[in-house]
């Protein structure tokens, strides 16, 4: 019988690999034609907001960072990255989309 830690390590690696694969996925045609990229005629739904959060996280936004001292700079940078992703995936433009976590080391507001 395999030790518990080997099974745990295998499960962790599979979860990590699937998370990395989903984070780097392209926007689908449905996502390209939905909120936040296209104006809506109805109020935004909870599902659409959760999808937007997932898309922001795929370009490096960390909603659970716990430090609000750089808000709104972090979310604005993530939104700019998401627009690049939209341009690359939906419009076919040749742009590079950064996916590294958004980290600010300067003072509040991101400038120092």
Q: Per-domain residue ranges for the chain? A: 27-112
pLDDT of residue 19: 45
Split at pLDDT 50, 70, 90, the class of 12 is very low
pLDDT of residue 17: 43
Is residue 95 within 8 Å of residue 87, measured between CB atoms? yes
Quote the pTM value. Answer: 0.64
Which long-range contacts (C-beta less than 8 Å, at least 24 apart) are formed by 24-30?
24/58, 24/99, 25/58, 26/89, 27/55, 27/85, 27/86, 27/89, 27/90, 29/90
Give the tens place of pLDDT for each residue, 25-81. Answer: 788 888 888 888 888 899 999 999 999 999 998 888 887 766 677 778 888 988 999
Give the tens place of pLDDT for each residue, 89-102. Answer: 999 888 888 877 77
- Alpha-carbon separation of residue 46 from 42, 51, 52, 53 (angstroms): 12, 9, 10, 11
């Amino acid at each position: 019988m395999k030790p518990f830690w080997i099974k745990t390590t295998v499960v962790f690696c599979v979860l990590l690999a699937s998370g990395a694969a989903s984070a780097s996925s392209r926007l689908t045609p449905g996502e390209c034609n939905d909120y936040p990229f296209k104006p809506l005629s109805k109020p935004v739904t909870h599902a659409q907001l959760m999808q937007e959060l997932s898309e922001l996280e795929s370009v490096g936004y960390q909603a659970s960072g716990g430090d609000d001292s750089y808000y709104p700079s972090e979310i604005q940078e993530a939104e700019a990255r998401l627009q690049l992703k939209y341009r690359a995936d939906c419009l076919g433009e040749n742009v590079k989309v950064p996916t590294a976590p958004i980290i600010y080391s300067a003072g509040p507001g991101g400038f120092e």
